[in-house]
Amino acid sequence: MVLYISPLDQSRETTQELHSGARALPPGSILLGVLKSVESELAKRELLGLKGENSTPLWFLAETERNIFLWRNGKSLDDQRDFSFWVDVPALIAKRREQLKKPVGFNPFINPLGGSLPMDPRSVDDEVEYLDTLEDLSGTVLRQAEALSHASESVRIELSDGVDGRTPVVLPTGAKDTAP
């Protein structure tokens, strides 16, 4: 069962349950923990460019999406163990690009103090370049991370006697199922 939340109606009633298991995940989906490890390592090796230092890491955006999902479903951070959080990397990159097009007011990552201070256009350009670099890596490094994510989930299920007690959730909320 994979959960998707409609971006238009944020109520719990709009949750669609897809009973097709982890195989129905959109291409490019990576476990949240794997994404964080891979992106942190890429940054440490300076493979995301020096401009990435001023960018919001994709894993941070994914963790924010996870927290929003838990909150909207009446869960706490302690309940995250009940779910297997997968990040639809292409969808999250697209969502972040849309946020960066609105550099005033509605985007808490652009202006953490609130209000309507515009973001420096150079910072937006740096972050777009950071996202471009991540997108470029999706055919190589992130493809390997996707395989690692599926393998680690398989091992986790095997170690729990073949019983998968976690519900897979695809982030960002509103991500569409692109599998057949």
Locate the domains of the chain by residue range.
2-108+119-171
Residue with tokens 């972050």: 127
pLDDT on residue 1: 43
pLDDT of 122 reads: 74
* Longest Cα–Cα distance in the chain: 53
- Write out the H or E segment, with its range, that includes residue 113: none
**H-only helix segments in the chain:** 32-44, 58-72, 89-100, 121-137, 141-159
8-state DSSP, 172: S
Per run of 10 residues, the mean pLDDT along the chain (length 180 residues) is 39 30 75 94 84 79 95 94 94 91 60 54 84 89 92 87 81 56
CB 119 within 8 A of CB 111: yes
140, 28 contact by CB (below 8 A):
no
pTM of the model: 0.75
* Contact of 27 with 145, CB cutoff 8 Å: no
The whole-number pLDDT of residue 105 equals 54
Rounded Cα–Cα distance for residues 111 and 101 (Å): 13
Residue 49's CB: how many other CB atoms inside 10 A?
Answer: 15
